[in-house]
Amino acid sequence: MAKQNQTLGEFIIENQSEFKYSSGELSRLINSIRLAAKVVNHEVNKAGLVDIIGAAGETNIQGEDQQKLDVYANDKFIQTLTNRNIVCGIGSEENDDFIAINSIDENNQNKYVVLMDPLDGSSNIDVNVSVGTIFSVYRRITPVGTPVTIEDFLQKGDAQVAAGYVIYGTSTMLVYTTGHGVNGFTLNPAIGTFYLSHPNMQFPETGHIYSINEGNYAHFPQGVKNYIKYCQEDEEDRPYTSRYIGSLVSDFHRNLIKGGIYIYPQTAKAPNGKLRLLYECNPMAFLAEQANGLATDGFQRIMDIKPTELHQRVPIFCGSRKMVEKAKEFMKNA
């Protein structure tokens, strides 16, 4: 049973038997993510003191300008996961293609692939707004001992064995699930240890916050426009409060604690939405469902979508159960 102020390491060991495949490998993988997160956190907290903010001068596969910290975080997570000989493949939002990990051990039996957004919301670094890391873990489907293929990465979200995020904010937290609820761990920077601070995190069944970039209102589908009007109506339990940070991890984390819905729909400019299915939507959907919430593209469950490409985008509505269900009604009836 989770104990308040238990360290992340203690928690992983105590709950290892709950992992779907209890070989110790997944435990070591989570520990590696913890280590990389501490390194990135240290660098994020130096922003403004050293030359790590601003654009790196390159663009990623999506055509987005890479920030210096994007590149740094990407390198650190890949380096940590590779050097500790834990995974057989890595997919990153910052890389054009997946990375096959060639083990130094010829008898390596690594079974897991990791997909990640190494620094979500990095454009906010310059203005000292919270950013985060998102990760998703799958068990490979090709034979162990052979090179990974694209099929190992193009799995439905329902096949995830672990997912989570790290939020680098006023405090640094690692929040994750292995399919047995959601737990949050806060970093004590004085000693570099994560402690269980938020056991068994749950979305309130409903909330009073809606998070969407209303600057794109004119380009939203009619169902989304109708839902926003509903949120703004002066009724007994409304209007709701509009809160949008522009960092998925930050918006999701606030809504998880306070109750709310996060929406990034398709628009005229982005007909498939903006967020990536494999790096952002699937891990957040897994967390949402494990925390008594819901995640949908407006019509179907996010984790039922079969990916067709590594950087596929989808619309997303996720958060408190009743709010997501109401948004789906408006989408269906538009």
Point out the annotated binding site. Answer: 93, 117, 119-123, 213, 244, 274, 280
Which amino acid, one-letter code, is at 183?
N
Which amino acid, one-letter code, is at 186?
T
CA-to-CA distance for 162 and 28, rounded, in angstroms?
A: 13
Is residue 280 a contact partner of residue 117, using CB atoms and an 8 Å limit?
A: yes
Task: Compute the 3-state secondary structure of the chain and give helix, strand, coil in percent, each to the nearest 5.
Answer: 35, 25, 40
Give the phi and the psi of residue 212 in degrees, each rounded to 5: -160, 150
**Residue positions forming the annotated binding site for Mg(2+):** 93, 117, 119-120, 280
**Quick one: CA dihedral 47, 51, 57, 61, positive or negative?**
negative
User: In terms of C-beta distances under 8 Å and separation of at least 24 residues, what long-range contacts does 13-18 make, across chains too?
Assistant: 15/178, 15/180, 18/178, 18/179, 18/180
CA-to-CA distance for 35 and 53, rounded, in angstroms?
A: 22
**Residue positions forming the annotated binding site for substrate:** 120-123, 213, 244, 274
Cα dist. 152→47, 258, 308 in Å? 36, 36, 12
CA-to-CA distance for 315 and 275, rounded, in angstroms?
A: 7
Is residue 315 a contact partner of residue 297, using CB atoms and an 8 Å limit?
A: yes
* Residue whose structure tokens are 């490409």: 309
Output Rg (C-alpha) for the chain, integer angstroms. 19
